[in-house]
Structure 1
């Protein structure tokens, strides 16, 4: 595939020609160009305008919009409109609707109300997608395709009659023999044993709780099926077009992103964090570049000022925050930044949502940020061209499989996204660069890997991490990791299964430490432990954290294994328990510091390190023509201090900065390129 977007950086917004007449679209396109925008996204909700009656397809509205945009030098990302099927597809056909676990059929009037596994929906979706691909697959005005919109952002697995049949068929294909399923699911517990695959229920309401294996498998089934739909749409498009294909995902959606993007060319994401929660914005930049054939990502949707709907109003961003987002976005290596929407909707459920212009065409409170964003990108593009973003030293495993497992067994308090967000925030606040990577990502660029709260470690993943450790990597693994098998059952041979060998431990006790009187110490920290915990005896490892009181007194809760055939040149730090997840800042900082600080024994393998300024200062390291660049942005609302270790040239102002301490005001940024003293 050629370079993504022919090397262009994208800046733009979503347009809706099905909502506004051609004169307004033309006015908006002219204003977009004036603001420095070069791309529009459209079509994700347009199905009823393209096919108002079944079988009567008219694409002229898209041609008109493409012509208008092209006249103003604006390219288009064209979407398949399958997230909002027309009324004729579902009216009088309740079986085609998405059904919730309690059997409720979700009706027309919103989006994602159709079962995407239904045969008739798939047929009509293929027809409209094929029509678009044939018409616009070779159109120079179109630069990319987006499939659907935000898969599974509102719904999880479907419980309709079609899915009930597909569920049994999928299980039979996966397990082949019902006896094998019964054994692997431990269905002898509570007399759940099945005689045939068509007897296995969907996880509908029961008097108590479902088998963990059934819930895990149903999540897998739902994710596999939506990815099958995405792959089907991709095949249809690729029969007529060589343009890159993406889907706009997000952390809150019920997806297997690794499987989804295995068939796509680049990733894209939607994010709407409030300014105080700026680490949530950065999480996307740390995560989504690790998907798609090109290894590139773009921000497909965010707000100029505030999100919101008729149910909940958003709070406007402080002045300068959006520009700081734009700076961070491109510093991190993203290839695009798009707002949603350009013109605020005059109807529907998202009327209060921020935009570039109001329904009556006047500038909104976000207009000035959009204008300054275009000016900023014009400055950045020259500096970005020919450079590259350097990977950080530290990676954190973010696994959709682990997310499923923690949703199956939250233990009353744990939410995977929330816990991982908290861990990520600790790195951001410490000024440590970090990548969030899926299980299938390469580890070659990293010195340190954290893998917390992953109940099951896939054998292939464990083997790759073990090889990486032996080559010199540091693996901080746990808590809540490797204590279950692929079907979410305890191991029957060892508390932590195959992990115990490379960790050099033997798991002795596993129980919820909350309220048990379990207290412990680690590198000067002392306190109580919480949550489902594993306590160990060391075989080849050495104890770093010991339990001093409670049922596990005398056992270790943090260990380090090194200098063994299993660890080679690396080390494994195993954490069996923590106080209230990762919420104790002292203990977390001690663990992170111990694992990530280079030393004589464990030198950093990467050549450049962040300044570690913290205090809201986010840093991305880039290199261009052999020179190291530090892209620094203060994402917080307070003034921060940083210290430059070498003389630099600030590239935006073309001024020299000597080594020393500097202040960075809220939402401001600099690009410090090192120069000779």
Structure 2
């Protein structure tokens, strides 16, 4: 496990650099990330580069024994550029041109900005590409943060070009989008504008394509910088980007494709305070954890998502070190929290943890955002935790020496996420919430899933979960058919196959393109309001006998058996969950939106069919397995009892134990 830190030499007197560099090294830091927001200092006026300060900074860090990650500074274009080219500024969904004065203030389709971005990336690569201490590059910073979809005139034209590349003709577009509805038929490409500012809700097919276009715009913009860097840097230097894994406005599978690996920025207390409502169901009790450790299930979900983008190890490029400044309460962080986060990251497959930041900022937006050291240079709580992590490095490296076993894949499709976001039908039917129920069910049984694209390599998974395959076509059906034919077990969730890839409801009986694979027809479906439930009976042991939130009545085809039937009106006698043997594998269609306890029982049933061993993980505990060792982590304020085949254990509060099975 590599340890790093984010450092901003331009924020501090040069008199501090050497001391900072040496103290970082003493604390166990070996990687330093710099320059992500320093464009105005690198190029104070157009074409005039001032590299001397950055040269000295790189050399100072290198002399102290550090490896360096350099960032292209394109997340913060300087004032002189905006003054000369105000059309670089983005236009928001309300049609307002945003102003200079913060960060991420640019349109990703602006050709002028493309040239400036290419130029600074090329200049940096030529200057530092052969420096022996530079090991890699981070492009920009947190695509999608604050702003992801621009609605300017440039984007309008680029959207029209994007559509012309996608559709053979306007007739095809009109057919695919169903523009005959409300007389929206187009006879010129120039008539198609962004979906915003319509009087009533816009065509969901139009919106979905604009979301895809906006996401593609970021991937294309990133590629400009990848290409510019690759022309001058050696192949040994990596190129990455630091995503915000909780953001859903960009298809990160596309963004990750041409990166060497993916990094993400982890802020556990902020995500717990502000993200729980986005991922837990509204009627669920969010588990109780210590107020300053965050939610290990939520953070674990994002670890699995990031790992799944390339089905490979990843980095934490920004790891919270103390109080943050952008959440609801911005709680202080007590000793032990950073230690838990670092161990969880390593156990989840992170190869490096880069702490944000070395010193707390004295100015700008992040003055209340903690670092490893305080504004005056004195050590903060996170620094003491860093020393603890340093002392445990051998133990940590020994634990992660064995590979991470992931037998289960959970499908994440961003187009489906967007389609359900715009038409959830039932309040709070959210794609990530549905996925998260099954992720939590896996973790409750000690199983580690990858969260992956439908286009990912599925060959090594034994179980595949598709909780909401809402958009489906024959290609997806064939992919899933191949998976089950080769012995995999598949679970399809409620609302699967409802629409085609253009966000139009299928003409086929539900679940549409997936009906033959599922071996059942959705005869009826009901969204259930609060306090309404339908009763059922199940042959699966311990399955809670009622359905809330969403219910589908299934008619099994010949050869498909029912695992659960409704026992009262209005779906009396119809199936709720079915199972069909398909090739060497099985397909379960789960026509209900399960509560956590029901999802756990379903996962236990699926695991048993593949003889995958499971554990019973108490609430508040996060457990990871590497080889014969278990890492049991307690994120609560009280000891937790934990039983394994090797014995009974008590995991103390805000601590962990390594157990050998």
- Give the TM-score normalised by structure 1: 0.88
Q: Residues 172-321 of structure 1: matches in 2 within 5 Å?
A: 172-241=164-233, 242=235, 243-253=237-247, 254-274=249-269, 275-292=293-310, 295-309=312-326, 312-321=328-337
Report the counterpart of residue 378 of structure 2 in structure 1: 362
Q: How many residues were matched structurally? A: 629
Contact 1:483–1:495 (Cα < 8 Å) also in 2? yes
Report the counterpart of residue 6 of structure 1 in structure 2: none
Report the counterpart of residue 584 of structure 2 in structure 1: 569
| 3-state DSSP of counterpart to 1:388 | coil
Do the aligned partners of residues 433 and 81 (structure 1) sit closer, same or farther apart at CA in structure 2, a change above 3 Å counting?
Answer: same
1:141, 1:181 → 2: CA distance? 52
| 3-state DSSP of counterpart to 2:268 | coil
Report the counterpart of residue 18 of structure 1 in structure 2: 10
Give the superposition deviation at 1:615.
Answer: 3.2
Report the counterpart of residue 343 of structure 1 in structure 2: 359
| 3-state DSSP of counterpart to 1:352 | coil
Give the superposition deviation at 1:180.
Answer: 0.1
2:408, 2:230 → 1: CA distance? 37
Contact 1:84–1:111 (Cα < 8 Å) also in 2? yes
Give the superposition deviation at 1:168.
Answer: 0.6
Within the alignment, does 1:414 sit opposite 2:429 as a pair?
A: yes
Give the superposition deviation at 1:322.
Answer: 1.6
Deviations 1:221-266, CA, capped at 9 Å, x for gaps? 0111100111111111111112111111122322111111111101
Which blocks of at least 5 consecutive residues in structure 1 are unaligned?
1-8, 646-658
Report the counterpart of residue 112 of structure 2 in structure 1: 120
Contact 1:517–1:550 (Cα < 8 Å) also in 2? no
Give the superposition deviation at 1:317.
Answer: 3.1
Give the superposition deviation at 1:550.
Answer: 4.5
Deviations 1:162-202, CA, capped at 9 Å, x for gaps? 00110111101110200000000011111110112111120
Contact 1:456–1:485 (Cα < 8 Å) also in 2? yes
| 3-state DSSP of counterpart to 1:131 | helix
2:224, 2:473 → 1: CA distance? 27
Do the aligned partners of residues 379 and 263 (structure 1) sit closer, same or farther apart at CA in structure 2, a change above 3 Å counting?
Answer: same
Deviations 1:523-582, CA, capped at 9 Å, x for gaps? 253334324x543211131222223444444332211112xxxx112111112232xxx4
Of the three residues 617, 622, 628, the one matched with 1:618 is 622
Do the aligned partners of residues 508 and 217 (structure 1) sit closer, same or farther apart at CA in structure 2, a change above 3 Å counting?
Answer: same
| 3-state DSSP of counterpart to 1:335 | strand
Report the counterpart of residue 546 of structure 1 in structure 2: 565
Give the superposition deviation at 1:673.
Answer: 4.1
1:365, 1:249 → 2: CA distance? 26
Do the aligned partners of residues 440 and 356 (structure 1) sit closer, same or farther apart at CA in structure 2, a change above 3 Å counting?
Answer: same
Within the alignment, does 1:32 sit opposite 2:24 as a pair?
A: yes
Report the counterpart of residue 402 of structure 1 in structure 2: 416
1:81, 1:515 → 2: CA distance? 49
Do the aligned partners of residues 546 and 75 (structure 1) sit closer, same or farther apart at CA in structure 2, a change above 3 Å counting?
Answer: same
Do the aligned partners of residues 471 and 232 (structure 1) sit closer, same or farther apart at CA in structure 2, a change above 3 Å counting?
Answer: same
Report the counterpart of residue 655 of structure 1 in structure 2: none
Do the aligned partners of residues 126 and 382 (structure 1) sit closer, same or farther apart at CA in structure 2, a change above 3 Å counting?
Answer: same
| 3-state DSSP of counterpart to 2:387 | helix
Q: Residues 385-534 of structure 1: matches in 2 within 5 Å?
A: 387-411=401-425, 412-514=427-529, 519-523=534-538, 525-531=544-550, 533-534=551-552
1:92, 1:132 → 2: CA distance? 23
Do the aligned partners of residues 349 and 136 (structure 1) sit closer, same or farther apart at CA in structure 2, a change above 3 Å counting?
Answer: same
Give the superposition deviation at 1:669.
Answer: 2.7
Report the counterpart of residue 638 of structure 1 in structure 2: 638
Give the superposition deviation at 1:111.
Answer: 1.0
Contact 1:454–1:480 (Cα < 8 Å) also in 2? yes
Give the superposition deviation at 1:320.
Answer: 1.5
1:458, 1:73 → 2: CA distance? 53
Give the superposition deviation at 1:458.
Answer: 4.8
Give the superposition deviation at 1:511.
Answer: 4.4
Give the superposition deviation at 1:92.
Answer: 5.8
Contact 1:518–1:547 (Cα < 8 Å) also in 2? no
Contact 1:357–1:367 (Cα < 8 Å) also in 2? yes
Contact 2:399–2:629 (Cα < 8 Å) also in 1? no
Of the three residues 14, 37, 42, the one matched with 1:45 is 37
Report the counterpart of residue 160 of structure 2 in structure 1: 168
2:494, 2:636 → 1: CA distance? 30
